[in-house]
């Protein structure tokens, strides 16, 4: 039997340095994953990183650990002779949790960190910003389509039966599409992790979705053991780098040790939470530089009413005005910000960006696979209102933190940090702890 250790050992160093996991995994003979999850592992590991609650690193790591834990719990007890079948409702609940993890991971990948200067000086950025954006967009689109496919499969009551779906009308095609989307998602996630050592979150996130489809739905071509070994190697390399950098910086310790009530014991004070100003800067950067002015809403299959020929579809799009921004608020182009293509042969023929995964959880259901003209118009109005509400909330929080009265801005502080190396060292230590927790969670599930 192939164990976790032997699976890792099977991976040649040259292959691990690149992102060609799928070319190896698809060449392997089918394997039964020898995975026996450790009960309660997720709760214990989340408790271990609790001291960093309130930081983007904590939010992303907690979401990944809980998603892995949730997927593992679907199998039943480790000592069961056979894995139980899952109901469609619990699979749908797990899918919702997987979708929710995309936002905190995207946030921690995109914010400017105190460690970025060090990583860039070390020349550890393996991707250009343009390539980073390309892979991020592909991941968001693939995840949206996977979610749509699975939501359709999980509709109705009763237990989930993949064989019944496979034997149904168009079932085999849907499953093959799901397999391709999931493996492409994992591949893009691994490639995005080449952005730098702090992008290990991307590879872990792609693996969580891959594991859910491969292990619980039992469809796919790639080996789950090799996939996990590959992700463990990426996380392990990042952990080693973070530990090295934290130790080499001349700075104060990342945690402050204080006397506890018990003799010979100490208490650890964690990193400070993200400030309202940090949140404001991130959201402004996201909306002004990354959020698309044209959004792909979905496609409507041909019917007698729309006059499309067989195998043709109509794509629907939402548009914001060109001057929409964080500072001027978002406005819809025209009355409803809605437009549609003519009858064409391809989904999303114009290449507009998918909305899913670009902002917070409130947007995750805003990009349906199909619908009506009225439904798409309502989606755009809801999106506009949610965007502007988000802008108001983070702006007001920043003003409160700055002690502003009304809308009068205070001059920005020009005082540099007292010890930038200390800040970077602290963040390197935090990330080392996050990689350690994720590595243990992967080994446990």
Closest-CA residue to 294 (of 372, 390, 378, 383): 383
Confidence of residue 404 (pLDDT cuts 50, 70, 90): low
pLDDT digits (tens, 9 = 90+) for 341-376: 888 877 776 666 655 444 444 444 444 455 677 878
pLDDT of residue 309: 80
Q: Which of 21-35, 212-226, 277-291 has the lowest mean pLDDT?
A: 21-35
pLDDT greater at residue 248 or residue 208: 208
pLDDT of 136 higher than 80: yes
Q: How far is CA 355 from CA 11, 141, 295, 334, in A?
A: 36, 8, 6, 20
Number of residues assigned to the chain: 445
Is 297 within 8 Å of 323 (Cβ atoms)?
no
Percent with pLDDT over 90 in the chain: 24
Lowest-confidence pick of 74-83, 171-180, 221-230, 284-293: 74-83
Residue 431 scores a pLDDT above 50: yes
Q: Does the pLDDT of residue 39 top 90, yes or no? A: no
Strands 338-340 and 294-300: unpaired
Bigger pLDDT: 15 vs 156: 156
What DSSP designation does 159 have?
Answer: B
93-107, 290-304, 327-341, 378-392: which has the minimum mean pLDDT?
290-304
Confirm if 391 and 280 have CB atoms less than 8 A apart.
Answer: no
pLDDT at 377 over 60: yes
Phi first, then psi: what are they for 353, rounded to 5°? Answer: -80, 145
Give the mean model confidence (pLDDT) for residues 216-222: 81
What's the mean per-residue pLDDT of the chain?
A: 76
Average pLDDT over residues 9-15: 38
What is the Cα–Cα distance from 266 to 236, expressed in whole angstroms?
Answer: 28
Q: What is the pLDDT of residue 403?
A: 81
Q: Specify the higher pLDDT residue, 300 or 82.
A: 300
Confidence (pLDDT) at 59: 93
Are 384 and 320 a contacting pair, CB within 8 Å? yes
Residue 16: pLDDT band by 50, 70, 90 thresholds? very low
Position 413 scores a pLDDT of: 39
Mean pLDDT of 135-161: 90
pLDDT(411) > 70: no
Average pLDDT (100-126) is 89
Mean pLDDT of 153-162: 86
How, if at all, do strands 353-354 and 294-300 pair? parallel
**pLDDT band of 379, cuts 50, 70, 90:** confident
> What are the tokens at 335?
């009355």
Using DSSP, state whether 104 is helix, strand or coil.
helix
Burial 70-79, CB ≥16 within 10 A → b, else e: bbbbbbeeee
pLDDT for the residue numbered 384? 86
Query: Residue 80 above 60 pLDDT?
Result: no
pLDDT of residue 11: 41
Q: Residue 262's pLDDT band (boundaries 50, 70, 90)?
A: very low
| Band of residue 159 on the pLDDT scale cut at 50, 70, 90 | confident
- When pLDDT is averaged across residues 148-175 and rounded to a whole number, the result is 87
pLDDT at 354: 56
Is residue 57 pLDDT above 90, yes or no? Answer: yes
């Amino acid at each position: 039997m192939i164990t976790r250790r032997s699976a890792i050992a099977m991976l040649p160093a040259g292959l691990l340095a690149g992102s060609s996991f799928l070319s190896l995994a698809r060449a392997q003979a089918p394997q039964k994953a020898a995975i026996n999850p450790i009960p309660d592992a997720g709760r214990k590991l989340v408790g271990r990183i609790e001291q960093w609650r309130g930081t983007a690193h904590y939010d992303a790591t907690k979401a990944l650990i809980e998603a892995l834990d949730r997927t593992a719990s679907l199998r039943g007890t480790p000592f069961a002779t056979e894995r139980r079948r899952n109901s469609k409702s619990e699979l749908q609940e797990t899918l919702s949790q997987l979708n929710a993890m995309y936002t905190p991971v995207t946030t921690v990948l995109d914010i400017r960190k105190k460690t970025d200067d060090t990583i860039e000086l070390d020349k550890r950025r393996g991707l250009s910003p343009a390539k980073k954006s390309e892979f991020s967009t592909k991941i968001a689109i693939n995840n949206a389509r996977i979610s749509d496919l699975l939501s359709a499969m999980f509709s109705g009551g009763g237990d989930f039966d993949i064989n019944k779906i496979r034997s149904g009308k168009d079932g085999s095609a849907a499953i093959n599409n799901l397999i391709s989307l999931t493996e492409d998602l994992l591949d893009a996630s691994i490639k995005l992790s080449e952005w730098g050592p702090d992008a290990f979150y991307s590879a872990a996130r792609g693996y969580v979705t891959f594991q859910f489809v491969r292990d619980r739905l039992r469809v796919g071509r790639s080996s789950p053991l090799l996939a996990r070994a590959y992700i463990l190697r990426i996380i392990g390399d990042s952990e080693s780098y973070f530990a090295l950098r934290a130790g080499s910086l001349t700075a104060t310790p990342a945690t402050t040790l204080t006397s506890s009530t018990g003799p010979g014991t100490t208490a650890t004070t964690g990193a400070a939470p993200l400030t309202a100003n940090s949140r404001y800067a991130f959201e402004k950067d996201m909306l002004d530089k990354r959020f698309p002015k044209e959004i792909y809403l979905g496609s409507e299959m041909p019917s007698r009413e729309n006059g499309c020929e067989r195998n043709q579809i109509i794509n629907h799009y939402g548009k914001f005005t060109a001057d929409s921004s964080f500072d001027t608020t978002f406005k819809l182009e025209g009355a409803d910000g809605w437009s549609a293509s003519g009858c064409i042969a391809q989904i999303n023929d114009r290449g507009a960006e998918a909305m899913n995964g670009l902002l917070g959880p409130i947007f995750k259901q805003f990009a349906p696979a199909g619908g009506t003209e009225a439904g798409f118009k309502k989606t755009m109005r809801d999106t506009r209102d949610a965007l502007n509400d988000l802008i108001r909330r983070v702006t007001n929080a920043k003003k409160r933190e700055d002690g502003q009265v009304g809308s009068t801005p205070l001059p920005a502080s020009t005082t540099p940090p007292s010890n930038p190396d200390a800040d970077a060292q602290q963040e390197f230590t935090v990330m080392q702890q996050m990689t350690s927790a994720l590595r243990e969670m992967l080994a446990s599930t």
